[in-house]
Amino acid sequence: MEAQTLYEKLWSSHVVHQEADGTALIYIDRHLVHEVTSPQAFEGLKLAGRKPWRVSSIVATADHNTPTDHWEQGIQDPVSRQQVETLDSNIREVGALAYFPFKNERQGIVHVIGPENGATLPGMTVVCGDSHTSTHGAFACLAHGIGTSEVEHVMATQCLIQKRSKTMLVRVDGKLGKGVTAKDVALAIIGRIGTAGGTGYAIEFGGEVMRSLSMEGRMTVCNMAIEAGARMGFVAVDQITIDYLKGRPFSPRGDDWERAVAYWRTLHSDEGARFDQLVVLRGEEIQPQVTWGTSPEMVVPVGATVPDPAKENDPVRREGMERALQYMGLTPNLPVTSIKIDKVFIGSCTNSRIEDLRQAAVIARGRRKADNVRQVLVVPGSGLVKRQAEQEGLDKIFVAAGFEWREPGCSMCLAMNADRLEPGERCASTSNRNFEGRQGAGGRTHLVSPAMAAAAAIAGHFADVRDIL
């Protein structure tokens, strides 16, 4: 048999029906649901008099709108509350494999709770009305975001209409230096291929660096595949994947476990499999990264300076750079480490897992945030992450450093709740998007790793985490 890529294996095992032009019906194993992109889908289903096809595929939670403090007061914003309550009532009516509502001890960001509960398993197709569904690809899943019409489509038919993507292998060879993390790998990849570089592709992340990353790290890289334009990114199964999944609430048990593991071990690209594109990075060359603009591809190593649009030849790109610098309140050629910050956000589906919090805590331990830093939010990705961090005493380290220890949720990643930047405020953020207004109208976001975010909180400006470690 011809050597296959992991993508081809995952794709062909889910084709229900295929038309002559290649349009296919793809079966969906897991459907993650949150409050923002589902109400219109539930309503559409009801209006058409349709029933959900397989309720046990649904895992739901409320995360985008939920507050991260004063849970005893409930959700203050009436519009947010209505959206969360709409999800409550929709799930009550329709059912689900699992629902982690507001205040539940296992509630959290949808892309954190799926994996940690073993609801995301290798070989699955995983969809959610959320672009960062690519995160689940870390488990060798075909996982991608969908729009609300498709949420309704999956509910009604358990399928999606799709065409095969092209394949790209991003290989990160060698080893990462001290203080360089999965987030820096993700940003370095986007810096290399650009925010549209992956458009139309399914990206497999491979190479020694990816193999050496924990599941948390792999999730961080796959999470940001969408920022490189790819709807999905994934990593082959290995022992690290299998060890992570053993004993999780929805992971298979007993004979099923053995059977599953035997199958999962086949989920890798075969020797000699052909990709449509190959991109190679060297781990040793990746430095801690900081974005300077309003697109994740506007990124430089921490030791660099803010780029100069005068050196850009393409007029549309040059104008884009000028607009970004103006929005960000930066001048060309400024050393990145001289940029002072007002706030720090450690959280989001990119970097809110236990390993991320540990990385930030290593820097925060025994230090205090700089006086010019108004607020440092640490927002765990889920109730389970929060509990684990507290068992390890990380919360105490953060609080002693002057950081705020919050309840789980999306929080200032997109500022749909009360956590947000004020106009002009500058933030070192571990989230995934530095778009204009993303963290609050007029807010200025610099994307960094959790360790770099903590280092910036301590220094009051961007700092090379390698000087502190």
Partner 1 sequence: MQKFITLNGLVAPLDRNNVDTDAIIPKQFLKSIKRSGFGPNAFDEWRYMDRGEPGMDNSQRPLNPNFVLNQPRYQGASVLLTRANFGCGSSREHAPWALLDYGFRAIIAESFADIFFNNCFKNGVVPIVLPKAEVDALFGLVEHSPGYTIEVDLPTQLVKRPDGHAVHFDIDPFRKECLINGWDDIGLTLRHADKIKAFEERRRAEHPYYFA
Q: Which of residues 397-436 bind ligand SF4 (CB under 6 A)?
A: 410, 413-414, 431-432
Q: What is the DSSP string of 29-74?
A: SEEEE-TTTSHHHHHHHHHTT---S-GGGEEEE--SS--SS-GGG-
Q: Give Dmax over CA atoms of the chain in angstroms.
A: 64
- CB nearer to ligand SF4: give 330 or 410: 410
Residues 97-116 contacting partner 1, CB under 8 A:
97
| Residue 166 exposed, middle or buried by CB count within 10 Å (0-12, 13-18, 19+) | middle
In single-letter form, the type of residue at position 209 comes to V
**213 vs 359: CA distance, rounded Å:** 14
Site for partner 1 in 174-193 (CB under 8 A): none
From the list 348, 375, 430, 445, which residue makes contact with ligand SF4 (rule: CB under 6 A)? 348
- Residue that the structure tokens 């075969």 belong to: 270
Question: What is the secondary structure of 228-282 as a DSSP string?
Answer: GT-SEEE----HHHHHHHTT-TTS--HHHHHHHHHHHTT-SPPTT---SEEEEEE
Pick the closer one to partner 1 by CB: 65 or 241. 65
Strand, helix or coil for residue 149 = helix
**Cβ 446 vs Cβ 181: under 8 Å:** no
- Among residues 134 and 158, whose Cβ is nearest to ligand SF4? 134
- The side-by-side arrangement of strands in the sheet containing 375-378 is 404-405, 375-378, 343-346, 426-429, 444-447
State yes or no: residue 135 binds partner 1 (CB under 8 A).
Answer: no
Q: Which does 291 bind (CB under 5 to 8 A by kind): ligand SF4, partner 1, none?
A: none
What one-character-per-residue DSSP string does 415-460 give?
Answer: TSSS--PPTT-EEEE-SS---TTTTSTT-EEEE--HHHHHHHHHHS
For ligand SF4, the closer of residues 146 and 321 by Cβ is 146
153 binds, among partner 1, ligand SF4, none (CB under 5 to 8 A by kind): partner 1
Positions in 224-253 near partner 1 (CB under 8 A): 226, 229-231, 250, 252
* Nearest distance from C-beta of residue 294 to partner 1, angstroms: 8
Q: Which does 241 bind (CB under 5 to 8 A by kind): ligand SF4, partner 1, none?
A: none
* Residue 346 CB, nearest approach to ligand SF4 (Å): 12
Residue among 3, 17, 276, 393 that touches partner 1 (CB under 8 A): 17
411 touches partner 1 (CB under 8 A): no
**Does residue 138 touch ligand SF4 according to CB under 6 A?**
no
Six-digit token string for 285? 């060359």
Q: Does 447 bind ligand SF4 (CB under 6 A)?
A: no
Cβ neighbours of 121 (radius 10 Å): 23
340: DSSP letter: B
Binding to ligand SF4, residues 300-339 (CB under 6 A) = none
Site for ligand SF4 contains 109 (CB under 6 A): yes
Please, what is the minimum distance in Å from the beta carbon of residue 186 to ligand SF4? 13
Using CB under 8 A as the binding rule, whether residue 79 contacts partner 1 is answered as: yes
123 binds, among ligand SF4, partner 1, none (CB under 5 to 8 A by kind): partner 1
Binding partner at 459 among ligand SF4, partner 1, none, C-beta below 5 to 8 Å by kind: none
Interacting residues toward ligand SF4 by CB under 6 A: 63-64, 109-111, 130, 132, 348-349, 410, 413-414, 431-432
